[in-house]
Amino acid sequence: MKLFYVTLNTIDEARRIARAALEQRVAVCCNWFPITCAYRWDEEIKEEPEIVLLIKTQDGRRASIEAIVGSVVDYVNCIVELAPSSVNTAFLDWLDRDAPS
Q: Which pTM does this prediction carry?
A: 0.92
Tell which residue, 69, 92, 79, 87, has the closest CA to residue 13: 69
pLDDT for 98 equals 79
Helix H or strand E segment including 53: strand 44-57
Report the CATH number at residue 31. 3.30.70.120
Count of domains in the chain?
1
pLDDT for 100 equals 67
Measured in residues, the chain has a length of 101
Domain of 82 in residue numbering reads as 2-98
pLDDT in tens, 5-64: 999 999 999 999 999 999 999 999 999 999 999 999 899 999 999 999 999 999 999 999
